[in-house]
Amino acid sequence: MQRTLLGLLLIFSATALSAQRRGPEAYHRGVSIAVELGLETERRETYSLFLRNPPVLPNPETPQPPPILLVRPGNDTLRYFFQEDTDFSGRPARRTQRYNFQVKLEKKLLSGMEFGGGVFFSSGSLDTELENPAAPFDDFAYRVSKVDYLKYGVSAILKFHLFQHRRLQPHLGIQPLFHLERVNALERSVIFPAYGIEHPVALPPDPYTFFVLDLRLLCGLSYSLTDRFLLGLNAVGFSATRRAYLGLEWKYRLTDY
């Protein structure tokens, strides 16, 4: 992931430097069409622990998840009970990468305000198994998931550009996304770190789809290559779905007003 993001930054820098001698006018206003390619990655995951022989047994009057059983060699059965207030977080051993493709139509005003919307498509995978889980207990269990999925939908965008009279313009913005996420494959299992054992659990019979509303806070740069072509770099500083993002954008100005 880090190499891919670094490659996007190098492409943006090299293209901007190579066009430095052409001297096009700064992009003040107009309607443009943009194509953006980017990568999303999951941030830290939160895990709920199941403990063996917990110090406080579950309250029989409160509904509790069924215990997780571990059968070791020799038919030794161990029971792990879910415990509240034992959540911990960590980064998965195999980081998730989600490839994102967007096509947008945007309108920029003389004030530096730019608004528009478009469609997007994304695919990726999710694997939440931890390489070295730093949990506060020695003997515990936690659930992990391995998912392949697609998402597609529409988005709106509102940006404000600074330094209107310069070819290189930083911008800040907000982007709501409305999309459907389709899970094509799902594997679930329970990890017992103390024994190095992974137990699979039941899988859902069919793929399923659900609706997601995301809200992103954007920051980035745009650079005028010619009087019509622009190159942009967009990064997400905050996402309601806790996903980091970096994208490279190619933009063509359709009108001058």
Residue range 155-189, pLDDT digits in tens: 999 999 998 888 899 999 999 999 999 988 788 89
pLDDT at 7: 59
Predicted pLDDT of residue 159: 95
Would you state the pLDDT for residue 3?
Answer: 59
Domain edges within the chain: 2-156+165-211+218-231+247-253
Name the residue type at position 77: T
pLDDT, mean of residues 218-225: 93
Write the DSSP symbol of residue 57.
P
Per-residue pLDDT band at 149 (split at 50, 70, 90): confident
Average pLDDT, integer, range 145-149: 85
Provide long-range contacts, Cβ within 8 A and 24+ apart, for 53-58. 54/81, 54/83, 56/83, 57/81, 58/82
Q: State mean pLDDT over 17-40.
A: 73
CA distances to 124, 133, 154, 232 from 144, rounded to whole Å, are: 17, 12, 30, 37
Nearest to 103 by CA among 119, 121, 123, 122: 119
What is the average pLDDT across 232-237?
92
* Residue 56: pLDDT over 80: no
Does residue 85 surpass a pLDDT of 70? no
Name the average pLDDT for the chain. 82
- Among 35-39, 65-69, 122-126, 133-137, the range scoring the smallest mean pLDDT is 133-137
End-to-end Cα, the chain, rounded Å: 39
Rounded distance between C-alpha atoms, residue 250 and residue 35, angstroms: 5
The CA distance from 46 to 171, in Å, is 32
Amino acid sitting at position 248? L
Averaged pLDDT, 227-233: 92
Residue type, 142: Y
How far is C-alpha 162 from the geometric centre of its chain's CA atoms? 27
Out of 153-162, 206-215, 241-250, the most confident range is 153-162
d(CA 190, CA 70): 10
Please tell me the predicted confidence (pLDDT) of residue 69.
83
Asked whether 219 and 237 are in contact (CB, 8 A), the reply is yes
User: Which residue bears the tokens 């207030």?
Assistant: 85
pTM above 0.75, yes or no: no
